[in-house]
Structure 1
Amino acid sequence: MYKSLILVLVVLIGAVAADKRPLKLQSSHIQRIGKPLHQGNVGLDWCPQCIDTWDDIVQVVLDVILQYGVLDTCGDLCAIVESKTGSGVLGFICNFGCDFLGLDEFIKLMNKADIDPIYYCEKMNFCPINDNGDAKFKSFAVLPARAKMGSKIAIDFVYVSKNGTGTGEMILSIQTVDKVPLSAGLLVEAQKPGTYGDRIAIDTSPDPECDPTESQCEEWLQGVYNVTVILCNGQCGSHHPHSAIYDTAHGSFSLYE
């Protein structure tokens, strides 16, 4: 029995290591480049995967309840979740979270309209909490400051934490010339005290896959673009516990023909 359990965990951890995606990347123009520079990461395995798959879990669980009604046990519910998705990772996270919270509380959580994946993954013990954490920008650069339309812009920054950080989010937003809202939210894993850096790329080429009949398409017109990056404990703007803004940085770049 124990050998089987160990084998399952090894397979699942391998899947996590191979699939770590952003928290919620809204704009295709904004991409994180490589791995963040860090010293002494706390070493999380399941936190990114829980956050990244949370929307999928919520949708599938609600679909299962709609189709089958409220089931008797977490095992019954999560077995169907795993079967419908074909994902052992989703099945494991569903089982772990449901067993930890209890079936009734887990279903109530699924029905909440203001789902905050970081908070709920913290609540289920997938992500560490540090309410005494801090982070302050040490440097922030937008390079190049002036570029030809269609170029790539790099946002380079370094921040320092004296007390470490909790599981959080980084929001990057761009005030565009044509007023099309562009932003991205990226997961910032809990860190020990130290110095950390990151690099974000902004592609100022029009997105060929953007359909103007379905959404606003950024045209990247000539002019000045203001950039804001916010570092947060928890999800930025959340009203849940363990959420706060650490620091904010501003910069800008201009495009010419």
Structure 2
Amino acid sequence: MYKGIALVILVIFGGAAAHTHKINAQSSHIRHFSLSLKEENNANDFCRDCVDTFDTLIYLVLDGIFELSIINTCDDICNYVTEKSGSPVLYAICAVGCDAVGINEFIKIAKEVDLDPIYFCESLKVCPINDNGDAKFKSFAILPSHAQAYSTFILDFAYESVNGTGTGQLVINIQTVDDIEISTTFLIESLKPGRYAERISIDTSPDPTCDPGTAQCEQWYPGLYNVTVMICNGECGSHHPNSQLYDMVNGSFRIDK
């Protein structure tokens, strides 16, 4: 019952979700050019919406568990989520996930203290699992190899999967000369076997919106910048099931004086 209602709601209101979790957050310096992380995948927008709204959904579910004296059905908790959030997408994810595992298991999963969003959405059967998946980098280049600050560097790489992938992450880490680590993560929905090309831009202009009083602001001083790219099953670095590092590649670029 919940699944049918939720499917209709997601089709109509799919863009209304509040995207709060950092799993898809991009540094102001890093941008994703290509779209193949979403193309040719085995998943659907349920998975992406679930991961993106993880923080808000978990907060409201736990709040509902605390406030409601009795929770007998999925409708009890998911109606509470809808009432507090006003979001039909949050209702849809709550209803689909709860309907898939049952109310008792849903509450048990939500109460886990060290959840990460991919594991949570996989546990609710919203994101596909593929523990036999794989991915291997086939090429990697940073162009140009050196330039002055305010230039844009391009990460151009491709990876191949023989068995397809599970729901996972692509992580970009940049170690700067002043020891400010810049990191960006992208969700990879479950991919079919094949070869996937990606292009990432790195803008080495100082961020004019960065407030040095509240954050470390990268100035892109002359020197060597080391770049690491990881592709993972599940969240990179997670200890949960269905998580592993598929492959990692390193490179560097130099900012001239």
Shared fold (TM-score, shorter chain, > 0.5): yes
What is the distance in 2 between the residues matched to 1:9 and 1:27? 32
Matching residue of 2:14: 16
The alignment status of 1:73 with 2:46, answered yes or no, reads no
> 5+ unaligned residues in a row in structure 1: which ranges?
none
> 5+ unaligned residues in a row in structure 2: which ranges?
none
What is the distance in 2 between the residues matched to 1:164 and 1:253? 31
The alignment status of 1:52 with 2:56, answered yes or no, reads no
Cα distance change on mapping 1:223 and 1:41 into 2, 3 Å: same
Write the mapping of 1:195-234 to structure 2, written as runs, cut at 5 A.
195-234=195-234
What is the TM-score of this pair, normalised by structure 2? 0.88
Task: Report percent identity of matched pairs.
Answer: 50
Tell me the SS of whatever aligns to 1:46: helix
What is the TM-score of this pair, normalised by structure 1? 0.88
Matching residue of 1:137: 137
Tell me the SS of whatever aligns to 1:253: strand
Q: State the AA in 2 paired with 1:56.
A: T
Following superposition, the deviation at residue 256 of structure 1 comes to 2.4
Give the stretch that moved more between structures: 176-185 or 198-207: 198-207
Give the stretch that moved more between structures: 39-48 or 20-29: 20-29
Number of positions where the alignment pairs a residue of Structure 1 with one of Structure 2 = 255
What is the distance in 2 between the residues matched to 1:222 and 1:128? 44
Cα distance change on mapping 1:150 and 1:16 into 2, 3 Å: same
Following superposition, the deviation at residue 75 of structure 1 comes to 0.9
Tell me the SS of whatever aligns to 2:41: coil
What is the distance in 1 between the residues matched to 2:171 and 2:106? 28
What is the distance in 1 between the residues matched to 2:198 and 2:42? 17
Tell me the SS of whatever aligns to 1:104: helix
Following superposition, the deviation at residue 37 of structure 1 comes to 6.8
What is the distance in 1 between the residues matched to 2:69 and 2:174? 44
Does the Cα contact within 8 Å between 2:37 and 2:188 map onto a contact in 1? no
What is the distance in 1 between the residues matched to 2:13 and 2:34? 19
Q: State the AA in 2 paired with 1:246.
A: Y
What is the distance in 2 between the residues matched to 1:57 and 1:109? 12
Give the stretch that moved more between structures: 207-216 or 60-69: 60-69
The alignment status of 1:155 with 2:155, answered yes or no, reads yes
Does the Cα contact within 8 Å between 1:225 and 1:253 map onto a contact in 2? yes
Matching residue of 1:181: 181
Tell me the SS of whatever aligns to 1:23: helix
What is the distance in 2 between the residues matched to 1:133 and 1:46? 21
Matching residue of 2:193: 193
Deviations 1:11-41 (A, max 9, x none): 4135437879783326222222241278743
Q: State the AA in 2 paired with 1:241.
A: P
CA RMSD of aligned residues (A): 2.6
The alignment status of 1:170 with 2:170, answered yes or no, reads yes
Cα distance change on mapping 1:106 and 1:18 into 2, 3 Å: closer
What is the distance in 2 between the residues matched to 1:126 and 1:181? 32
